[in-house]
Amino acid sequence: MRIALISDIHSNLAALEAVLADAGPVDETWCVGDVVGYGPDPNECVDLLRARKHLLCVAGNHDRAAIGKMDTRNFNPDAEAAAQWTSRQLTPSSRRFLEELPPARELEQHDITIVHGSPREPIWEYMIYSSIAQANVELLNTRYCFVGHTHIPVMFNCASGPLGHTCRTVTPVYDVLFKLADGYLFVNPGSVGQPRDDNPDASYVVLDLPDHTVTYRRVPYDVQKTQRKMQKAGLPQRLWMRLSYGW
């Protein structure tokens, strides 16, 4: 079974279309949250996801903010302005889609958990360091956990030893099959619509089950098309400029 694992689309339709085209035919699409927020096409991105044949999706902090289910005072001013703009654009059916997103999914048959932030804090925690993976591994009921939120493609592999679990950072190599090996593994596919690792190309992962392999992919897309729409919508300048350099 071939699965497109995507995260942090952030209303960037051009990036989402490019990623789905690159993935080609897949059996399922799994989305690790933040479908909306920041970008210019929230409804179009929701519609495109809904049209996928087998979609599993969890909620991100921006999805919650857009439907008024999260206090945006913790957001930076640009993110808050974008959340308010997004909220005004949502159609009733897009709103319903976002309202129905669960905070996490445990897929027992595949031994996989999907969550936007972390098992400890499904919506908010940024899993940026191996130490954070280490603090979360005890809370996992599955061997594998797919996360998003940081917009940075990375894996954390955790092995158990006499002193508990030790986690190490695994930097993805693109276009190479990576076998999900022994121990616990956190996989962050990076961001489709707002990459933050100095690479403006959309990032995602192709997952193969039951082979348990992942392949990281980077996909160029029409960044300027998204930027023009954001400018026209009056979204903050910093948010569309950062798409040029992927930070």
For Zn ion, the binding residues (CB under 5 A) are 8, 34
Smallest gap, in angstroms, from Cβ of residue 98 to Zn ion? 14
Does residue 210 have a cis peptide bond before it, meaning omega lies within 30 degrees of 0?
Answer: yes
Give strand ranges (E) for the chain: 2-6, 28-31, 55-57, 104-107, 112-115, 144-146, 154-161, 164-170, 177-179, 184-188, 202-208, 213-219
Smallest gap, in angstroms, from Cβ of residue 38 to Zn ion? 8
Q: Of 53 and 73, which CB lies nearer to Zn ion in the complex structure? A: 73
Q: Of 37 and 119, which CB lies nearer to Zn ion in the complex structure? A: 37
Point out the residue whose Cβ comes nearest to Zn ion: 34
Smallest gap, in angstroms, from Cβ of residue 214 to Zn ion? 20
Smallest gap, in angstroms, from Cβ of residue 11 to Zn ion? 11
Nearest in space to 116 (alpha carbons), one of 202, 15, 34, 203 = 34
Using H for helix, E for strand and C for coil, what is the string for 85-96? Answer: HHHHHCCHHHHH
Q: Of 79 and 155, which CB lies nearer to Zn ion in the complex structure? A: 79
Q: Of 130 and 188, which CB lies nearer to Zn ion in the complex structure? A: 188
Angstrom distance (rounded) from CA 209 to CA 26: 12
Q: Of 8 and 17, which CB lies nearer to Zn ion in the complex structure? A: 8
DSSP class per residue in 223-234: HHHHHHHHHHHT
Smallest gap, in angstroms, from Cβ of residue 202 to Zn ion? 13
Q: Tokens standing for 67?
A: 């439907």
